[in-house]
Structure 1
Amino acid sequence: MSEFEEFDQQGSVPTKETGAIISHAFEMYKGVILYAVVAMLIYVIADSVLQSIIGFNSWSMVEEMKDSDGDISNFKYYHSPGLSLYYSFSSVWGALLSPLYIGLIFILNKYNTKSAVEFSDLFIGYRQNFLNIFIYSLITHVVLRIALAMCGIPFFFVFPLFLLGYPILLFENATAMDALKKSYEIAKDNYGTFLGVSFLGLILSFCGFLACCIGILVTGTYITAVMYSTYCAFLGKPRQIL
């Protein structure tokens, strides 16, 4: 377990308002954009490896949707070859990669407090509290996957309840169950703000698909900045990890 000490450095903290949090997250994200691209690139490569092993091709589905000119009535997503097998393994695969998001949140925190950032910081989630990070990520992947399968709309209402989980796991060295409980309790009591922040954060994260999908490398991990800024707004400046 890591030891912690309180910050004695200055760092910006947004107010508990949707606009302030999104703005703060954007400013933080701009400062760590290269690390964000590296994290997303690792994720995309790892996901491509899994797809190649299983025989599933998500990019071909994206191209099919783009070529449909908006008419997706004949688009048979759930009949795509290898989809069910891919979904069977992707939650575990995603949980194994989730420490990269923890690392990016750690880097965001360092940038916010003007601390020196090292490339190895991106992998702190594999060195600290990995088991709880894995369990938490696996649980949230399954829950959000079920919500997404229900016409997609419930996903946007469920996601806010998990928004603070990763920062809590990192900065408080919490267990998976404690992170789930604390994130849920805070989000429940401030649900309107969390819903707005989550919705805008997800939209901005996925807007990279509009740039021939390549832009997702730049925008894909923006939601981690939203998680960090929301944590700062509702729980104050995080603790420094030794």
Structure 2
Amino acid sequence: MSEFNEFDQQGSVPERNTGSIISHAFEMYKGVFLYAFVAMIIYLIGGFVIQALTGFNSAGFADDIKSNGGDFSDFNIWAAPGFTSYISLSWLLGLLLAPLYVGLIFMVNKYNTKNPIEFSDLFIGYRQNFVNILIYSIISGIITSVAAFFCVIPVFFVYPLLMLGYPILLFENATAMDALGKTFNIAKENYGTFLGTTVLGILISFAGVILCGFGIILTAPFIMVVMYSLYCAFLGKPRQITFNK
């Protein structure tokens, strides 16, 4: 069982503008960097296991794309061996690891409020509001997938409306639908700030691909920290979660 305790003794809160929120996220990320790295390693290991199970070779697939000479008229991605199973299991993996990202947000809050961080904190999402985290992950995944279906660009306009969902689920113990409604209402009223912060956060998260392909594991979790900083800016310092022994 968990309890929520109010606290107001320490912890920084950014101003409600993109620059302040991103700067705050950078400061927070430095404190949980190693744990974020561990979370990504877990994700990568899961990805390697899926490739082994499905037989889909993403590296070989990338080579096929490069060797295609720019002619994709006869290129059928769905015909690639194991691709369908790979996509399905990858989606399932992302769903099951969503509580891990929530755990990272929890660690950021502990760092911000100068509370000692424990490795087990990374897995709090599997103990705190687990079912609603999964439901929210499914709903938000469907929303972003539909946006991506029309074109990748609409994702950048839709995703800001979902940015507060995970922090709300964690710190307010909300239901998935309540979290979805609350993040949507707050984001639409402050859409300019949410859009700018989300786009910049995503670009920074994918900076590892540009700097060094494998470096994505160092930068990808940054967007989760941006979610926390947005929550602090618009909803104040979160409540502290404690567990009954």
Question: Shared topology, TM-score over 0.5?
Answer: yes
User: 1:36 aligns to what?
Assistant: 36
| Per-residue CA distance 1:74-98 (angstroms, 9 max, x = gap) | 3947344333333333333211110
The Cα of 1:50 is off from its aligned counterpart by: 1.8
**Is 1:227 matched up with 2:231?**
no
- Secondary structure of residue in 2 paired with 1:214: helix
**Residue correspondence of structure 1 range 207-218 to structure 2 within 5 A:** 207-218=207-218
Identify the residue that residue 123 of structure 1 maps to in structure 2: 123
Compute the TM-score of the two structures, normalised by the length of structure 1.
Answer: 0.92
TM alignment of 1:45-124, pairs within 5 A: 45-62=45-62, 67=66, 72=70, 74=72, 76=75, 78-79=77-78, 80-124=80-124
Given that 1:95 and 1:135 are in contact with CA atoms closer than 8 Å, whether structure 2 keeps it comes out as: no
- Rounded Cα–Cα distance in structure 2 between residues aligned with 1:226 and 1:43: 20
C-alpha separation in 1, matches of 2:63 and 2:196: 30
Secondary structure, counterpart of 1:183 in structure 2: helix
What SS does the corresponding residue of 1:115 show, helix, strand or coil?
A: coil
Note the alpha carbon deviations across 1:162-194, whole angstroms, 9 max, x for none: 100000000001111111111111111111111
| Distance apart, 1:2 and its partner CA | 1.8
Deviation at 1:64, TM superposition (A): 5.5
Q: TM-score, normalised by structure 2?
A: 0.91
Does the CA contact (< 8 Å) of 1:61 and 1:77 recur in 2? Answer: no
Distance 1:62 1:179, change over 3 A: farther
Provide the rounded CA distance (Å) in 1 between the counterparts of 2:56 and 2:143. Answer: 22
Amino acid at match of 1:82: G
Residues 72, 9 of structure 1: alpha-carbon distance in 2 compared, 3 angstrom cutoff: farther
In 2, are the aligned partners of 1:91 and 1:138 still within 8 Å (CA)? no
Give the deviation of 1:61 after TM superposition.
4.0
2:13 is matched with 13
Equivalent AA in structure 2 for residue 135 of structure 1: I
- Equivalence for 2:147: 147
Q: Distance in 2 between matches of 1:234 and 1:77?
A: 45
CA distance in 1, matches of 2:39, 2:53: 22
Q: CA deviation at 1:208?
A: 0.9
Task: Give the Cα separation in 2 of the matches to 1:182 and 1:21.
Answer: 19
CA change 1:213–1:135 in 2 (3 A) is: same
Identity %: 61
Mean Cα deviation higher: 80-89 or 94-103: 80-89
Partner residue of 2:171? 171
Alpha-carbon distance in 1 for matches of 2:12, 2:120? 24
Aligned partners of 1:64 and 1:21: how far apart in 2? 41
SS in 2 for 1:241: strand
RMSD: 2.0
Q: Which one-letter code corresponds to 2:169 in the other structure?
A: L
| Structure-1 separation of matches of 2:25 and 2:219 | 12
Pairwise CA distance, 1:153? 1.1
Judged with a 3 Å threshold, the aligned counterparts in structure 2 of structure 1 residues 78 and 145 are, in CA distance, closer, same or farther, namely farther
The residue that corresponds to 2:25 in the other structure is: 25
Gaps of 5+ in 1: none
AA partner of residue 120 (structure 2): S
Greater mean deviation of Cα atoms: 118-127 or 41-50? 41-50
